[in-house]
Structure 1
């Protein structure tokens, strides 16, 4: 009989909406204990999860499971890059972009059962100015919304949509210089999104053709936005369709450089990072092992 795999669950107690569910208790009840020997630890502060994940990887744990939202998943995954330790996800946030792309169930019990029955694949990761991301990063409007959302006491999809509707027509595009596939050009930029996975989260698809295992970044450039283009782009994102060229342009590449005359905001996996005038975005092929549901390649 094979030895059980060692698993560390890292729980962010502040992720998602308030719930009376005892996550550690559900793990204890539903996890296959003949397959896994597990422990549960909790994050105490922002930036704690990468240390807890790397510690587990250094000790030779087989898997570390992030219990939280996109920010927690990003932190745990950062601690596991280029290691033999796999990432597992129990989604407990408001967007859950990576979990949705990997078809991990949103319900806690179903997600735990996925750990019991799933298998491991290896996916790409990316970085923007040396900050790792696993679903999307971006400069411009989406980063601005991330900055506002980060300071908002209310969370969830409803709050996010309300912020977007309030700010979308007030935000102004900026001139940028970009280099994609050795093609240098100047352009207006309302949003430039860099996608490893297809969606931001909440099934809002910014790059419907993105493949998390193909070694390529999908870049979506929105030059300018008026009300008609905003409505069309929103419709396409919610119906998993590519926007037409009037609303957005798409590129596939391994490396992007962007320069601006004035600082512009940027985010990684929905977490606001800050402002910069230079951006270096690249892909790191097949750099993270992840557990996915049975039947997913």
Structure 2
């Protein structure tokens, strides 16, 4: 099988020596071409080249969730098709939500072994993905639609992601404590936490306004704090459409309660009178009366004033 390995050399949890070992292991079973990413969006360009090729049957993404998201968007640049190369993932980032959602080990070496075993036995699955389109917060011009593998968010959580990314750009590592500190700072500085600016719209349903945060999930857990899973929408699955968790109020007491529910091993997720949730929703739109932070698969994409989400079933074949 001819395969393209897309390697992020800046992946936070793999060294150059480890990557060399993984490349050697994959090359023993595959006709392997290796490409290292050199700029933001390079993995997307490589995925697109693979999708347009006549002979690449598999793309392996070695990196974090951002690398995987770019590869997926490249592969699906013309939409889903059974003729597209399959995707395999070797986790190399700090959280690796998508790989762990597929049931892969969080260790890159063990995950490589699991991928090779799956290739030898022909084990794969078709998974659903999310697609989001809309307009940025500064103009009315639409931006290109973006695929996401496990989550997207508008409002509070995207603001936290943006803060974390800012600190990482300054050379700080993405740690549990860094994330928690940014949650606190976002809470203290969020002008909408008592009266939300987001409105949820669904075909044939009444609009729901006054939302502070909206988290769209394509799998569960939504993310991790270290090795601890965070359950926003416990029923979310790669086999269904999209789930939504939205909150209409964030007070000090409610934040403490929601945090406990998000981290609870019961996996029930947040609940209460200020909680709005959807399960297996094929399409909905989030609108804001002013531009708010927006994130996709943990990648901060600036400000958005509206975003329409579509759940696309069986969008991509994945080796697991």
TM-score in terms of structure 2 length = 0.83
> Structure 2 regions of 5+ residues with no counterpart?
134-144
The aligned residue for residue 235 of structure 1 is 260
Q: Could you say what the CA RMSD is over the residues aligned between the two structures, in angstroms?
A: 1.8
The aligned residue for residue 268 of structure 1 is 296
List structure 1 runs of 4+ shifted beyond 6 angstroms.
none
- Report deviation, 1:266: 1.0
Of 242, 248, 269, which residue of structure 2 is paired with 1:217?
A: 242
Q: What is the DSSP-based 3-state SS (H/G/I as helix, E as strand, rest coil) of the residue aligned with 1:104?
A: coil
Return closer, same or farther for 1:226/1:112 CA change in 2, 3 Å cut-off.
Answer: same
The aligned residue for residue 124 of structure 1 is 128
- Report deviation, 1:181: 4.8
- Report deviation, 1:269: 0.5
- Report deviation, 1:185: 1.8
Q: Is 2:1 the counterpart of 1:9?
A: no
User: In the aligned structure 2, how far is the partner of 1:196 from the partner of 1:282?
Assistant: 11
- 174-183 or 104-113, larger mean C-alpha shift: 174-183
Query: Is contact 1:190-1:223 (8 Å) kept?
Result: yes
The aligned residue for residue 178 of structure 1 is 200
Return closer, same or farther for 1:258/1:28 CA change in 2, 3 Å cut-off.
Answer: closer
Q: Is 2:156 the counterpart of 1:147?
A: no
- String of CA shifts for 1:237-282, please: whole Å, max 9, x gaps: 2233222223522112111112222111211111111212222111
Q: What does residue range 186-197 of structure 1 map to in structure 2 within 5 Å?
A: 186-197=208-219
- Report deviation, 1:53: 1.4
Q: What does residue range 75-114 of structure 1 map to in structure 2 within 5 Å?
A: 75-81=70-76, 82-83=80-81, 84-114=84-114
